[in-house]
């Protein structure tokens, strides 16, 4: 177990080193920070002084190490566009994206799991077949199109929900939350739904496929033979054994939601990380771009690690298998 | 006439080993399992017809479209923002209404789909060529090269491909000097989408290659002294190509969706040569002022295109999976 965690952590740090290097390359070879900060009419002496102060005259490797060390401490330099520390800008935007992604995951699981269980248990009913066909449509809906259709329906047509922004937010320390006000919750519904619809269709299809597979297994027959009630068999035996793929998918989903939240944030002008990234791309704000790149990589590495560890918590068989593998490797 | 064309079909059922004519091949295809399951899935047939219709309309847009929205001579600002014909105040010349420049939405969609499908197809060819090359090398040569290539593929697969494409496209776009940006916008999109999807193909090809390379005909080819690259591309490749082609067809839908998303975010196809995504981006602003048709119809076209391909793909996956028969 410990060996497994160590190995995975080493792999993860390898990925982070590579990505931080790419982020650094981006930082070094695009744009001229001196020109960006001082403007075009600075004197050569001023420029040289700033170059020295920013450490741009140091050797390449030293600069990378400085960059990586600073990044590890959460310092990513000064944003060209806003002239503020990048980490300050990011911390301001982070809560909005995390709340959006978390609510979207909840929505997709809340819609997806029941639909998947229903369609697996009632495979031949027309309603189940209908749900499956609709789910293909759901999987293929691009996030921004869902967003636009939702706005068309609920904001422009019915006028029930706001079409942009986060509504009122409440400050809890450095965290700003929209979950505690009515306008904040109303503003959250459509962006979260536009992210969740495609994902919930995916979850439903996955749960259905896994459930059907598990229901064929011998232990389900034995459970029935023992005279257990259907409900106990379906939910205690069958659904529980479909949890592994669901956990994986939820993990991968979190990542996907992070990516697609860029799109949802653009449609709904949601003031989160995604919008920040798009703005930084538009303005060639390299420090923000690099920081975003590294943070995303960090986020994904953590998710993958967490998913792997959760497997072992859920499925005791995997724990034993790993111990055997390690025992063989160790001997 | 019919009797003449029928005859070879009947003889094709005769002795095995005959080189069958094309009619016989068609007949055999018609009787095959896969075609049988196709014929008995009305939803899939409908999706396939719709998909073909859309490709046809896009490819022949210059001849089929009712107006040419890029011919400035025919554009008339007096025609701008007309609603679709079933809404009051419309013009029968414009079935789905017009945009702010007076271009017909239907024609814009046909031309836009043309750009979208071209970019999608080119992006898929980039991922297929990258995937095939790296997959063959990885599977056939093995060892350290295999480990490195597959590690990179693994790492890339943990990132969503859209994010990857956005990063590649956005960063390349912002690194290029301004005057080159418009010129290289489309190649950058193609490259970004292509690079973001190669690991799927590489894995598929690698898996097939590992199975094939143990077989006798490869040993024979090696024995007569063919070079590894000739063996990879002339011997192994034809035998692992089928699933790649299936995946590639489906991938066009994802590439089109990816292109639309990038364009919608402003990092895709430039407004001078609008794709479906650019049309949606341009029309989005009009949603709030009541001209919904400018954005809704291109959006629906995109959805129908992707849904059709996904329905076909979903069926194909099941039809090709012998476990489910």
Render pLDDT for A166-220 as a digit per residue (tens, 0 to 9): 777 777 777 777 676 777 777 788 888 888 888 888 888 888 888 888 777 777 7
- pLDDT tier, B129 (very low <50, low <70, confident <90, very high otherwise): very high
A46, pLDDT greater than 90: no
Q: B135 to each of A209, A232, B115, B122, how far by Cα in Å? A: 29, 46, 29, 19
Which CATH number fits the domain that encloses residue B293? Answer: 1.10.3720.10
Distance from CA of A103 to the nearest CA of B (A): 19
Q: What is the mean pLDDT of residues B122-144?
A: 90
* Chain B 275-304, residues with CB within 8 Å of chain A CB atoms: 280, 284, 287-288, 290, 292, 295-296, 299, 302-303
Q: What is the mean pLDDT of residues A111-139?
A: 83
B233, pLDDT greater than 70: yes
Distance from CA of A224 to the nearest CA of B (A): 25
- The pLDDT of residue B11: 42
Helix (H, G, I), strand (E, B) or coil at B104: strand
- The pLDDT of residue B92: 66
In a domain, B20, yes or no: no
- The pLDDT of residue B5: 42
Distance of CA B180 to the CA centre of its chain: 27
* Chain B 37-76, residues with CB within 8 Å of chain A CB atoms: 43
**Which chain B residue is nearest to residue A302, measuring alpha carbons?**
B158
Do residues A281 and B174 lie in contact, with contact meaning Cβ atoms separated by under 8 Å?
A: yes
- pLDDT tier, A270 (very low <50, low <70, confident <90, very high otherwise): confident
B289, pLDDT greater than 60: yes
Do residues B68 and B62 lie in contact, with contact meaning Cβ atoms separated by under 8 Å?
A: yes
- The pLDDT of residue B73: 66
| A246 closest CA partner among A207, A201, A214 | A207
Helix (H, G, I), strand (E, B) or coil at B13: coil
Q: Rounded to the nearest 5°, which phi and psi values hold at A170?
A: -110, 135
Across the A/B interface, how many CB contacts are shorter than 8 Å? 101
In a domain, B75, yes or no: no
**Cα–Cα dist A121/A98, whole Å:** 34
Contact B264 A144 (CB under 8 A): yes
Distance of CA A119 to the CA centre of its chain: 28
What is the tally of structural domains in chain B? 1
Average pLDDT, whole number, for chain A?
77
Q: What is the mean pLDDT of residues B132-141?
A: 90
Q: Are strands A170-172 and A175-177 parallel, antiparallel or unpaired?
A: antiparallel
Q: Look up residue A121 and give its two tokens.
A: 């248990």
Residues in B closer than 8 angstroms to A263, CB to CB, are: 162, 261, 264-265
- The pLDDT of residue B132: 92
What DSSP state is assigned to residue B87?
Answer: S
Q: What is the mean pLDDT of residues B212-239?
A: 86
SS3 per-residue string spanning chain A:
CHHHHHHHHHHHHHHHHHHHHHHHHHHHHCCCHHHHHHCCCCCHHHHHHHHHHHCCCCCHHHHHHHHHHHHHCCCCCECCCCCCEHHHHHHHHHHHHHHHHHHHHHHHHHHHHHHHHHHHHCCCCHHHHHHHHHHHHHHHCCHHHHHHHHHHHHHHHCCCCCCCCCCCCEEECCEEECCCCHHHHHHHHHHHHHHHHHHHHHHHHHHHHHHHHHHCCHHHHHHHHCCCCHHHHHHHHHHHHCHHHHHHHHHHHHHHHHHHHHHHHHHHCCCCHHHHHHHHHHCCCHHHHHHHHHHHHHHHHHHHHHHHHHHHHHCHHHHHHHHHHHHHHHC
> CB of B180 within 8 Å of any CB in chain A?
no
pTM: 0.78
- The pLDDT of residue A1: 64
Contact A140 B253 (CB under 8 A): yes
- Which of A28, A123, A148 is the best residue to mutate to test the B interface, defined by the most B CB atoms within 10 Å of its own CB? A148
Q: Rounded to the nearest 5°, which phi and psi values hold at B226?
A: -70, 150
Q: Environment class of residue B174 by beta-carbon count within 10 Å: exposed (0-12), middle (13-18) or buried (19+)?
A: buried
CA angle B163, B288, A281 (to 5 degrees): 25
Q: How many residues does chain A have?
A: 331
- Which of B150, B258, B263, B265 is the best residue to mutate to test the A interface, defined by the most A CB atoms within 10 Å of its own CB? B265
Average pLDDT, whole number, for chain B?
78
A159, pLDDT greater than 90: no
Q: Rounded to the nearest 5°, which phi and psi values hold at B10?
A: -70, -40
Residues in B closer than 8 angstroms to A151, CB to CB, are: 287
In a domain, B84, yes or no: no
**Which chain A residue is nearest to residue B259, measuring alpha carbons?**
A142
**Cα–Cα dist A265/A267, whole Å:** 5
- The pLDDT of residue A40: 65
Residue recorded with tokens 């297994």: A217
SS3 content of chain B, % helix, strand, coil (to 5): 75, 0, 25
> CB of B109 within 8 Å of any CB in chain A?
no
**Cα–Cα dist B45/B36, whole Å:** 11
In a domain, B185, yes or no: yes
Distance from CA of B29 to the nearest CA of A (A): 27
- The pLDDT of residue B222: 86
Q: Environment class of residue B304 by beta-carbon count within 10 Å: exposed (0-12), middle (13-18) or buried (19+)?
A: middle
> CB of A209 within 8 Å of any CB in chain B?
no
Distance from CA of B25 to the nearest CA of A (A): 33
In a domain, B221, yes or no: yes
Do residues A119 and A206 lie in contact, with contact meaning Cβ atoms separated by under 8 Å?
A: no
Q: What is the mean pLDDT of residues A305-326?
A: 68
Residues in A closer than 8 angstroms to B284, CB to CB, are: 148, 267
- pLDDT tier, B122 (very low <50, low <70, confident <90, very high otherwise): very high
- The pLDDT of residue B126: 93
Do residues B298 and B280 lie in contact, with contact meaning Cβ atoms separated by under 8 Å?
A: yes
- The pLDDT of residue B95: 63
Residue recorded with tokens 């077949």: A129
> CB of A60 within 8 Å of any CB in chain B?
no
Residues in A closer than 8 angstroms to B257, CB to CB, are: 140, 142
Residues in B closer than 8 angstroms to A30, CB to CB, are: 171, 174-175
**Cα–Cα dist B63/A5, whole Å:** 62
- pLDDT tier, B305 (very low <50, low <70, confident <90, very high otherwise): confident
**Cα–Cα dist A146/B264, whole Å:** 13
Q: What is the mean pLDDT of residues B296-311?
A: 85
Q: By mean pLDDT, which of A13-27, B136-150, B213-227, B232-246 is the weakest?
A: A13-27
In a domain, B224, yes or no: yes
B20, pLDDT greater than 80: no
Render pLDDT for A48-90 as a digit per residue (tens, 0 to 9): 777 777 666 677 777 777 777 777 777 777 777 777 888 888 8
Q: By mean pLDDT, which of A16-20, A229-233, B7-11 is the weakest?
A: B7-11
In a domain, B4, yes or no: no
> CB of A269 within 8 Å of any CB in chain B?
no
What DSSP state is assigned to residue B66?
Answer: S
| B262 closest CA partner among B172, B192, B182 | B192
Torsion of the alpha carbons at B189, B191, B197 and B202, rounded to the nearest 10? 170
In a domain, B91, yes or no: no
Q: Which of A35-44, A270-279, B122-131 reaches the highest mean pLDDT?
A: B122-131
Q: Look up residue B251 and give its two tokens.
A: 């991938």
**Cα–Cα dist B319/B36, whole Å:** 10
Do residues B39 and B80 lie in contact, with contact meaning Cβ atoms separated by under 8 Å?
A: no
Q: Look up residue A99 and give its two tokens.
A: 């709340």
Residues of the domain holding B246 = 43-63+101-324
Render pLDDT for B53-106 as a digit per residue (tens, 0 to 9): 888 888 877 777 677 777 666 666 666 666 666 666 666 666 666 776 767 778
- The pLDDT of residue B133: 92
CA angle B138, B143, B149 (to 5 degrees): 40
**Which chain B residue is nearest to residue A138, measuring alpha carbons?**
B307
**Cα–Cα dist B267/B324, whole Å:** 42
Q: What is the mean pLDDT of residues A33-62?
A: 71
Q: Which of A286-290, B86-90, B252-256 reaches the highest mean pLDDT?
A: B252-256
- Calculate what percentage of chain A has a pLDDT beyond 90: 0
- The pLDDT of residue B2: 42
Contact A148 B166 (CB under 8 A): no
> CB of A81 within 8 Å of any CB in chain B?
no
Q: Which residues pair with B98 in a beta bridge?
A: B104
Q: B161 to each of A25, A237, B157, B169, B265, how far by Cα in Å? A: 22, 35, 7, 12, 15
- pLDDT tier, A117 (very low <50, low <70, confident <90, very high otherwise): confident
**Cα–Cα dist A111/A96, whole Å:** 23
Of residues A232 and B187, which shows the higher confidence score? B187
- The pLDDT of residue B306: 85
- The pLDDT of residue B131: 92
B16, pLDDT greater than 50: no
Q: Using the CB atoms, write b or e for B96-113: b if 16+ within 10 Å.
A: bbbbebbbbbbbbbbbbb
């Amino acid at each position: 177990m410990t060996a497994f965690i160590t190995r995975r952590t080493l792999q993860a740090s390898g990925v982070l080193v590579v990505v931080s290097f790419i982020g650094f390359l981006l930082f070094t070879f695009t744009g001229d920070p001196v020109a960006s900060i001082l403007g075009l009419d600075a004197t050569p002496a001023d420029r040289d002084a700033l170059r020295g102060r920013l450490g741009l005259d140091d050797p390449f490797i030293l600069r990378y190490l400085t960059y990586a060390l600073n990044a590890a401490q959460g310092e990513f330099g000064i944003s060209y566009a806003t002239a503020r520390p990048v980490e300050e800008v990011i911390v301001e935007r982070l809560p909005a994206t995390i709340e959006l992604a978390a609510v979207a995951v909840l929505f997709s699981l809340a819609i997806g799991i029941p639909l998947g269980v229903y369609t697996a248990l009632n495979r031949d009913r027309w309603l189940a077949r209908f749900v499956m066909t609709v789910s293909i449509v759901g999987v293929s809906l691009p996030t921004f199109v869902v967003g636009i259709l939702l706005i068309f329906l609920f904001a422009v047509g019915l006028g029930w929900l706001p079409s942009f922004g986060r509504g009122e937010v409440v400050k809890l320390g450095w965290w700003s939350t929209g979950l505690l006000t009515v306008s904040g919750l109303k503003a959250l519904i459509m962006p979260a739904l536009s992210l969740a619809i495609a994902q919930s269709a995916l979850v439903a299809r996955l749960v259905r496929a896994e459930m059907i597979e598990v229901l064929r297994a011998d232990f389900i027959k034995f459970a029935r033979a023992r005279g257990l009630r259907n409900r106990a068999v379906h939910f205690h035996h069958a659904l529980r054994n479909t949890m592994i793929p669901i956990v994986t998918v939820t993990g991968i989903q979190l990542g996907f939601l992070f990516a697609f939240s860029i799109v949802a944030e653009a449609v709904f002008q949601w003031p989160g990380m995604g919008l920040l990234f798009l703005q930084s791309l538009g303005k060639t704000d390299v420090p923000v771009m690099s920081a975003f790149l590294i943070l995303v990589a960090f986020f994904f590495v953590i998710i993958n690690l967490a998913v792997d560890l959760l497997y072992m918590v859920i499925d005791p068989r995997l724990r034993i298998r790993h111990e055997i593998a390690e025992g063989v490797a160790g001997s | 006439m019919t009797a003449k064309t029928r005859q070879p079909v009947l003889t094709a059922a005769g002795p095995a080993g005959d080189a069958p004519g094309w009619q016989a091949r068609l007949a055999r295809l018609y009787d095959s399992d896969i075609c049988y399951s196709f014929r008995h899935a009305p939803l899939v047939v409908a999706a396939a017809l719709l998909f073909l219709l859309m490709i046809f309309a896009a490819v022949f847009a210059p001849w089929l479209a009712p107006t040419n929205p890029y011919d400035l001579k025919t554009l008339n600002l007096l025609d701008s923002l007309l609603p679709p014909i079933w809404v009051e105040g419309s013009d029968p010349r414009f079935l789905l209404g017009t945009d702010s420049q007076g271009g017909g939405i239907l024609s814009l969609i046909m031309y836009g789909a043309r750009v979208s499908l071209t970019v999608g197809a080119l992006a898929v060819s980039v991922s297929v060529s990258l995937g095939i090359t790296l997959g063959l090398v990885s599977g056939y040569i093995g060892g350290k090269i295999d480990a490195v290539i597959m590690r990179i593929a693994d790492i890339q697969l943990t990132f969503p491909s859209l994010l990857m494409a956005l990063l590649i496209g956005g960063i390349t776009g912002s690194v290029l000097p301004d005057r080159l940006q418009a010129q290289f916008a489309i190649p950058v999109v193609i490259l970004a989408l292509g690079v973001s999807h190669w690991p799927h193909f590489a894995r598929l090809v690698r898996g097939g290659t590992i199975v094939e390379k143990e077989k006798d005909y490869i040993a024979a080819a090696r024995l007569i002294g063919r070079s590894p690259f000739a063996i990879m591309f002339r011997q192994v490749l034809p035998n692992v190509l089928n699933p790649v082609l299936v995946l590639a067809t489906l991938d066009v839908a994802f590439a089109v969706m990816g292109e639309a998303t990038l364009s919608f975010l402003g990092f895709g196809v430039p407004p001078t040569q609008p794709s479906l995504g650019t049309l949606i981006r341009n029309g989005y602003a009009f949603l709030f002022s009541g001209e919904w048709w400018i954005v809704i119809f291109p959006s629906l076209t995109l959805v129908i295109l992707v849904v059709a391909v996904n329905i076909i793909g979903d069926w194909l996956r099941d039809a090709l999976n012998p476990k489910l028969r």
